[in-house]
Amino acid sequence: MSQNYPSVVESSEKKTEVRAMFNAIAGRYDLLNRVLSAGIDQRWRRRAVALLAAERPKRILDIATGTADLALLATSLQPEKVIGLDISAEMLAVGREKAARHASGELVELIEGDAEAMPFEDNSFDAILVAFGVRNFGDLGGGLREMNRVLRPGGSAVVLEFSQPTAVPIKQLYGFYSKHILPRIGGAISGDSGAYKYLPDSVAAFPYGDAFLKRMAEAGFASGVCERLTFGIASLYKAQAS
């Protein structure tokens, strides 16, 4: 059964709608990710973590942590602490079960909270990771400014997000898959076709590449770079806090 899915337009209501959507699909979220991406999403996450290896961050924040996939991967950097933040209580419940089974799960603390009004002091973290989360912010600029606030000056923010392929025929093939195939498979597995209609719509509406780097710069980040992954289906962004 399909529920109402969030608007792709930035708004104060979007956060509430996103929370409800992820609470509804939490139990099958990991399975859906593996099926819909053929497992490539895990490779993307490992690449995001690898971008921080040389910096050896001690305190890491994983925003929109969901079921804690990225937070748990970040423990490979041997930090003192990884905090995962998410607005969905149901997603965090799944994440806590995974952390309890993980060899380094004791390093991970999962907190329910709003990425646009985080319960942390200024300069609290050495690095920030976000995987497929900034697209869901109700206020993208506000969320990015919060990231800059809680990150120490010179600390790195690494953002993994869906983007749009531009090369022929990948652009056309991916467009057909995301519009016609992904919502049907996602809806069949999750029981919520609305959530997987929202995904391609939100990707299409989201600024990517140079446009997203500009939004990061406007929020106070510097030295932004973008790395396109798997023909541009996803992109990695890295920038330093001011």
Please write the tens of the pLDDT for every residue from 134-147: 999 999 999 999 99
In 3D space, the residue among 159, 176, 177 whose CA is nearest the CA of residue 241 turns out to be 159
Give pLDDT, residue 2: 41
Low-confidence winner among 20-24, 102-106, 199-203 (lowest mean pLDDT): 199-203
Task: Return d(Cα 108, Cα 83) in angstroms, integer.
Answer: 6
Task: Return d(Cα 212, Cα 103) in angstroms, integer.
Answer: 35
CA dihedral over 68, 165, 236, 116, signed as positive or negative = negative
At the topology level of CATH, where does 12-240 sit?
Answer: Rossmann fold (3.40.50)
Domain boundaries, the chain: 12-240
Q: Is the pLDDT of residue 5 over 80?
A: no
Q: What is the pTM of this model?
A: 0.92
Contacts by 97-102, CB closer than 8 A, 24 or more apart: 98/67, 98/68, 98/69, 98/72, 99/68, 99/71, 99/72, 102/72, 102/75
* Helix, strand, coil share of the chain (percent; to 5): 50, 20, 30
Confidence grade of residue 177 (pLDDT, cut at 50, 70, 90): confident
